[in-house]
Amino acid sequence: MALPRACFVIPTYNEADNITLLLTQVLESMDTHAGWEVTVLVVDDDSPDGTGARVRTFMATEPRVHLLTGSKRGLGDAYLRGFERALSEFDPDVLVQMDADFSHAPADCPRLLDALDDKTDLVIGSRYVSGGRIDADWHVLRRWLSRGGNFLARYVARLYSVRDCTAGFKATRVTALNEAKPQRFRIQGYVFQVALLHSLVVAGARVTEIPICFHERSRGATKLGVKDLLEFSIHVWWLRLQGRNTFSKFMLTGLSGVFVNLGTFAALLSVGMHQYLASACAVELSIISNFLINNYWTFGYRDIPTRKRIRGLKYNVVSLATLAISLATFVSLSVVNSQGSPMLHQLLSVLPAGLVNYFANSYWTFRER
């Protein structure tokens, strides 16, 4: 019986100090673990330090290693080119993603593939499940960036069931990858990892996480830049919009609430009501309007375990907080800029209240089972 085929896709840029030892250890770890036919594809972005030349030298004595070169356009672009080459030339059953800087231990490769059983389509080497950890030498800023990025991916892109959404150490069945269709992505940076995961989960991929130790690189420099962070932040929100359109519906509901708010406020001012009281009444009426629409339209698809009266109580608590924030904002603007337009102050007071209203209700009042 033919062995299942696993292709390791390893993107590189200026990893000459690491690549030879990495390839040696990856192949050694797999050679001591029978059961897989292994191919390694290094995707090098024309590294000026000679990474490609090191790979070619290695290829002279190891036919399982291959090289794909191209101009530097980011991690996501490198992976997409690597996937296309691997699928067309090596016909793998599984694609393995890993970094070239030893942040992912080659000794963990067999364990990653072993976890890919009949009930699993994607295995993630996770830092954030029980038993997983990060090297103590990892810089505190990188720790916070990792935690923050993972929080955004889980709670904005709705990947709640996955603990390490930004992980770069993965084994994915090609059948699941074909369903996810990553070729349609227009992503160049590190957010590719989250976009691919999101697409796999939406397509129904079954995900398992195994604990790993994530190591700090000892040679070379990190490639993470400000552009990558900006692309990550923007695209995570875009993934949210591409889901069940919950956020889009909420935005439309909020827009209708703005009209209710401003219309009520203008009407009450016209009959002589004090602007502070008119502001509170306008906010309260818009909250009621938004609740009815969100309850039956925006979050209507969710399986919410709480009873309606409990949900209503929670919404009232959020509404009081929203009212307090909006009124405090309105009063502050009126005091700071007493000559300004009350209508403009009222409009600006809606913004912070709207954000609190969405997140509190989405993750508390209307939280899914």
Number of domains in the chain: 2
pLDDT in tens, 301-334: 777 888 877 887 887 788 888 888 888 888 888 8
CA end-to-end span of the chain: 44
Last residue within a domain, chosen from 187, 216, 242? 242
Q: What is the pLDDT of residues 50-95, one digit of tens each?
A: 999 999 999 999 999 999 999 888 888 899 999 999 999 999 999 9
pLDDT at position 271, please? 92
pLDDT at 242: 59
Whether 99 and 218 map to the same domain: the answer is yes
Predicted pLDDT at 104 = 93
Strands (E), the chain: 5-12, 37-44, 65-69, 94-97, 122-126, 133-134, 170-173, 207-211, 213-214
pLDDT in tens, 325-343: 888 888 888 888 888 788 8
For residue range 131-188, list pLDDT tens digits in order.
Answer: 999 887 777 777 787 788 888 888 777 788 899 988 999 999 999 998 887 766 667 6
Per-residue pLDDT, averaged over 29-57, amounts to 93
Six token digits for residue 182: 């990553």
248 or 194, higher pLDDT: 194
Domain that holds residue 205: 5-242
How much is the pLDDT for 241?
Answer: 62
One domain, residues 14 and 161:
yes
Over the stretch 207-262, which tens digit does the pLDDT of each residue have? 999 999 998 876 656 656 566 667 676 767 767 665 556 777 877 887 888 899 89
- Please report, as a single letter, which amino acid is at residue 206: R
For residues 233 and 320, state if they share a domain.
no
Q: How far apart are CA 80 and CA 69, in angstroms?
A: 13
Are 271 and 204 contained in the same domain?
no
pLDDT score at 288: 82
Residues in the chain, total: 369
Query: Which residue in this structure is represented by tokens 């972005």?
Result: 45
Which pLDDT score, from 0 to 100, does residue 244 have?
A: 56
Quick one: 13 and 131 in the same domain?
yes
What is the reported pLDDT for 304? 80
Residues 25 and 41 in one domain: yes
Q: What is the pLDDT of residues 1-20, one digit of tens each?
A: 688 999 999 999 999 999 99
Lowest mean pLDDT among 45-49, 207-211, 227-231, 357-361: 227-231
